[in-house]
Structure 1
Amino acid sequence: MEKKISIFCILYFSFGLFFAIGFAVYYHWPVTGFLSPGFYMVIFTWPYQAIGFVKDILYYGLTGKPV
């Protein structure tokens, strides 16, 4: 059981990391944004962030949301 939990946590964090990198690139975060607490919040809350992210991709396209 511990092995399944650890595999789930590793996959959750790994997918969250890739999602957060795409999130930061899409919203034009500065390079130092990868060190901010907001970046790590996206990693841990990526399922909730994905709802708005998909909505913005459908509305603004792949060019990114203007700030």
Structure 2
Amino acid sequence: MKYFYRVVGAKGELVETSREFDGVRAAKAEARHALTETAAGGLPETPVHMLSVELFDENRLPITELRLILEEISKE
């Protein structure tokens, strides 16, 4: 089955891609891996504050979204 991914990177850039997997479990695992790789490329910058990977099925219906949110808490 074909799955689609929409990745929002550190500067708010949007990348869409697709891959074939045997099932949703493998597609979700790849979404987690994609989020990890995106974070390894750099943490989010203002004003975005997050990285995300959205997963869609072959009909482009949403399945799940994974987010990594960076929160800065001032101690001044």
Range class of TM-score, shorter chain: 0.3 to 0.5
**Higher helix proportion (structure 1 or 2):** 1
TM-score, structure 2 length as denominator? 0.31
Higher relative contact order (CA 8 A, sep 6+): 1
